[in-house]
Structure 1
């Protein structure tokens, strides 16, 4: 197996829409060993087991490029290959086939993926796949947390959990064809030291456009709600409360202090957050602190301990923090720190 690796630093990770310039990376692999392919496709939180069906020979050539928390793979395979995912990935994965047939297990019915017909596999839904002979596809990998950040921005309330995309995509026309073209151009522009690496702001905008294209054109849990008229903007006291939380995010502030800063009673503050943010003030504060902790874990490069980062953002019980973090992001804080 031959391996080539190159990394180009260009800013911090994207932790919310259009926040910062992304870090670029590229990795290429080729070989014939199923166990090596297992290692290539696995992550620390979501191992994948690859096997050659009937012990036949296989071959593969994969190129991965990433921009922050969005990655694109261009993979070609030879032979009959089975793959089994042994733990949820925490990512929404979109397969855009160029050649050949594949069958994904992601629910009650198998999902066939051939040229002209793509597949969206929700975070934690895909359990396995079979590649039937010669196969090539582009794969788009998007953190569920990034999708939720975009939905949160669109709805102006906290969104968590799986978006539950419908798994089938028509790639022959309309938004499906546009998605395939956009992902193809992103991969070409980022791979091999492409010119897009010299335009990090353009890459950020294109990555955001890709996620919004998914959310606005392919059916998911929130599609119907997106077609409704936008709700009335949040009242001033809710915005004041949110501004106060962000200004004092690492301090031990109380609900009473938040209400005082918002110039309303605690009851009015709670009603405002329930109506306009679909949550409570304390839950909102907890969420933005959790996102801040994840950003520090991603950017630390193992230079800081998980406990130090947790304490910085007000999480004093390390075991509870780890459990809530895993529920929120699909991996333990220590696993994020090792990326």
Structure 2
């Protein structure tokens, strides 16, 4: 499903305003207590349990810097052998870029080894546990799965859902892997300790986007072949007129016939244009615009606005169906977005 030029421009303006008010949050932790490390590594939706193998001594030093609510970069060092168990599925993709020491992760199909010169990509929900062998040091890049899906949606101009199926390994000695490691290292260095990137949110946001696009375009995944194809032909005027009309009347009960009249073509021609140039139907495209609007309202909502109110505002009368479609589109339930 496509995103029109107007939607793209609106998204660009929204992104620029968001960048200008972007928040940065830095937390540094060090110690020797596995329980304290459990708290450091856990998130509200995905608690983690840490155990020292054989009750032998461990030590850790972790520094995390969050860019807004969707991207975090980390520099972490560990001593000793540390066992990590994730007790609930994470909604973040994690990229480990090791400089020293080994680790392995319990993947869905096999164990994934993480060693210096080879990065590791773990998609959300793809690893339930890990074993770190100190001395170990790595940079980490944590990105909300919904943000990655959003980037793909803009790249393809249609709705993307499901796993991206990244290959779990990246060569960090050359090419894209080396550039990715440098990007994440520079991001962390520029953001930590009230670094210069905290005074340039547009630059910080652009570097975060660059890292995500580099992963999508240079690291093998389910969409690699499609991303290598030439960009599609621009849509004709009547499709653009239809999309402009949808944006102007997004909260109103408009029909397919209303859209065709605004586009100055027959319903059949309109449907054909959307199939050919947007790989969807006009009404499905309108539904997508309304879903994005509901997502934006949930992100910006305070506790006084309920999910039902927001869903109804954008024409979703069946809350169960809305929740299912929302999760398919954004990788999480409406209630999870509302709690952010």
TM-superposed CA distance for 1:131, in Å, is 0.8
Name the TM-score, length of structure 1 as normaliser: 0.86
Could you tell which deviates more after superposition, 271-280 or 208-217?
271-280
8 Å contact kept, 1:34–1:51? yes
* Cα distance change of structure 1 residues 250 and 58 upon mapping to structure 2, 3 Å threshold: farther
Could you tell which deviates more after superposition, 179-188 or 260-269?
260-269
Deviations along 1:143-191, whole A, 9 cap, x unmatched?
A: 2222222222222222222221111100011111111011111111112
Could you tell which deviates more after superposition, 196-205 or 236-245?
236-245
Name the TM-score, length of structure 2 as normaliser: 0.86
Aligned residue number for residue 191 of structure 1: 192
Aligned residue number for residue 7 of structure 2: none
Aligned residue number for residue 96 of structure 1: 97
Aligned residue number for residue 47 of structure 2: 47
Q: Provide the secondary structure at the position in 1 that maps to 2:94.
A: strand
Aligned residue number for residue 200 of structure 1: 201
* 1:133-152 correspondence runs (5 A): 133-152=134-153
Aligned residue number for residue 262 of structure 1: 263
Aligned residue number for residue 61 of structure 1: 61
Deviations along 1:95-132, whole A, 9 cap, x unmatched?
A: 11122111012232211111110011123222221112
Aligned residue number for residue 289 of structure 2: 288
User: Unmatched 5+ residue regions in structure 1?
Assistant: 1-12
Distance 2:166 2:16 in 1: 23
Aligned residue number for residue 165 of structure 1: 166
8 Å contact kept, 2:58–2:78? yes
Distance 1:139 1:128 in 2: 16
Aligned residue number for residue 36 of structure 1: 36
Q: Provide the secondary structure at the position in 2 that maps to 1:192.
A: coil
* Cα distance change of structure 1 residues 314 and 330 upon mapping to structure 2, 3 Å threshold: same
Deviations along 1:71-93, whole A, 9 cap, x unmatched?
A: 21222222222222333323222
Q: Provide the secondary structure at the position in 1 that maps to 2:134.
A: strand
Q: Provide the secondary structure at the position in 1 that maps to 2:230.
A: coil
8 Å contact kept, 1:89–1:330? no
Distance 1:157 1:306 in 2: 25
Deviations along 1:40-73, whole A, 9 cap, x unmatched?
A: 3233333333222223333322222122322212
Distance 1:121 1:220 in 2: 12
TM-superposed CA distance for 1:286, in Å, is 2.5
State the number of aligned residues: 327
Aligned residue number for residue 27 of structure 2: 27
Distance 2:213 2:285 in 1: 23
8 Å contact kept, 2:161–2:330? no
8 Å contact kept, 1:18–1:208? no
* Cα distance change of structure 1 residues 118 and 319 upon mapping to structure 2, 3 Å threshold: same
Could you tell which deviates more after superposition, 18-27 or 156-165?
18-27
* Cα distance change of structure 1 residues 274 and 38 upon mapping to structure 2, 3 Å threshold: farther
Distance 1:62 1:15 in 2: 35
Distance 2:113 2:12 in 1: 32
Distance 2:304 2:30 in 1: 32
TM-superposed CA distance for 1:233, in Å, is 1.5
TM-superposed CA distance for 1:136, in Å, is 1.6
* Cα distance change of structure 1 residues 77 and 258 upon mapping to structure 2, 3 Å threshold: farther
